[in-house]
Amino acid sequence: MAMPLFDSITAHETGEAVELLQELIRLRSVNPPGNEGDVARAVARRARDWGLNASLVPVVDDRPNLLVSLPGAGERPALVLSGHTDTVPPGETPWEHDPFSGDLSDGHVWGRGAVDMKGGVAAMLVAMAALARRGWQPRGDLRFVGTIGEEVDCIGAEHVRDTDGLAGVGWIVIGEPSNLDIVAAHRGAVWLEIVAHGKTAHGSMPHLGVNAILHLAELLRWLCERRFPYEEHPLLAPPTVNVGTISGGVKTNVVPDRCVATVDLRTLPSQDHAEILRDVRDLAAELESTTPGLQFDVRVGNDMPAVETPVDHPIVTETRAAVAAALGAEPAIRGATYYTDGGIFAPSGIPMVIFGPGDDKLAHQPNERVEVDHMALAVRAYAAIAERLLG
């Protein structure tokens, strides 16, 4: 029996993944504003050097999506390896290593995006390159889709969806950090912007005004205590509510007539986002009814459905078998608290799983870092998944 190609991947090739990751970390693509162009061009350049087809697809400004492919024989549907090229900001907390250094230290690559998810992007590209070097022709196309904007509005994934970028695709593997587990489900997200409008007055006579800050705080308290109906999910944690930002007022001695807050609700597949929005607006209307001059505007800033693939679906079982062969141990199957571009792709009906290097608990954290060993294992695993689904 012939040795699987993933078993022939060399230490030099897995080292290429580490080097590419370091390069990508040093190319800042913090979103907002994004600036993913340099990252996309760097990956495209490497992909072409490695014998892969690569193209940049304009989406907005200098923020292109990236498509890389290893053409197949047309006997099977395509497999998409999905990643995004933007990151969140590094934050104000000091880091042990500069967040844009890509330092290699203590067996880890350090920097913003190391885990979420430039590590996955680098490992996917090197796995494709390793297969191409060995003259492997898949029975269906092997594609990498690198999208912009996942950390804010998923505009890149929407562009892929809306331009038939998923035509002919049979499977999607999303390279978000999973600690090398197989993630078959993730929660959804509803981001709300709530604006309270009150009435200004002198700070010494607050009874003459309507304090927008206080009333918005009351609505937020109600919202955080509200238990929106849901059915428990075997892989997912219960729903959560987080008040992310709040701002309002103009001066200490002035009753504030405007206050704005943003709220992040994480949801389960059993929950209806439209119903949740109606409940929030009903809560706001109830408060308005008790306070003349108070008005709330509740707007949706992001609406991402939850994603779930049955654990007995072939994409889960086949991916698990491939990863087990590559890693020498069977990976766990679990859910994730975060959302992905999969929420945009899910309505297509294409089965998907999440698998990637790095501890997802380090995503968006200071001192984000990924183990070098994880990068090597991920390269092997992505190659094994491609061989199993397209071989």
pTM (2 decimals)? 0.92
Query: Same domain, yes or no, for 200 and 161?
Result: no
Same domain, yes or no: 52 and 198 = no
The Cα–Cα gap between 30 and 112 comes to 9
The residue ranges of DSSP E strands in the chain, in sequence order, are: 53-60, 63-70, 78-84, 104-105, 108-110, 142-147, 169-174, 182-186, 188-197, 201-202, 240-248, 254-255, 258-267, 295-304, 307-308, 333-336, 352-354, 369-371
Neighbours of 123 (CB within 10 A): 33
Same structural domain, 240 and 130: no
pLDDT, one tens digit per residue, over 245-303 is: 999 999 999 999 999 999 999 999 999 999 999 999 999 999 999 999 999 999 999 89
Spatial separation of the C-alpha atoms in residues 54 and 305, rounded to whole Å: 30
Q: Which two tokens stand for residue 246?
A: 């709040």
Give φ, ψ of 271 to 5 degrees: -95, 145
Q: Does 238 share its domain with 377? A: no
Query: Does residue 331 sit in the same domain as residue 283?
Result: no
Are residues 192 and 166 part of one domain?
no
52/162 Cα distance (integer angstroms): 25
Based on the domain organization, do 74 and 205 belong to the same domain?
Answer: no
- First-to-final CA distance of the chain: 14
**CATH for 51:** 3.40.630.10
Residue 268: CATH number of its domain: 3.30.70.360
Give the domain extent around 251: 188-304
Strands, sheet with 104-105, edge to edge from the N-terminal-most edge strand: 104-105, 108-110, 369-371
Q: Percent of the chain, pLDDT > 90?
A: 98
User: Is 162 in the same domain as 261?
Assistant: no
- Residue ending a domain, choose from 304, 337, 372: 304
Q: For 80-105, how does the pLDDT look when each residue is reduced to its tens digit (9 = 90+)?
A: 999 999 999 999 999 999 999 999 99
| Residue in 326, 338, 13 with CA at minimum distance from that of residue 175 | 338
The alpha carbons of the chain give a radius of gyration, in whole angstroms, of 23
Residues 142 and 216 in one domain: no
HSE-CB at 243 with a 13 A cutoff on CA atoms is: 15
Q: Quick one: 122 and 17 in the same domain?
A: yes
The model's confidence at residue 3, banded by pLDDT at 50, 70 and 90, is confident
What are the two backbone dihedrals, phi and then psi, of residue 69, each rounded to the nearest 5 degrees? Answer: -145, 150
Burial 319-337 (b: 16+ CB within 10 A, else e): bbebbebbeeeebebbbbe
Domain termination site, one of 288, 304, 320: 304
Amino acid making up residue 36: E
So what's the pLDDT on residue 91?
A: 93
Domain match, 17 and 158 both? yes
- Each residue's pLDDT tens digit, 165-179: 999 999 999 999 999
One domain for residues 296 and 381: no
Domain count across the chain: 2
pLDDT, tens digit, 9 for 90 and up, residues 18-30: 999 999 999 999 9
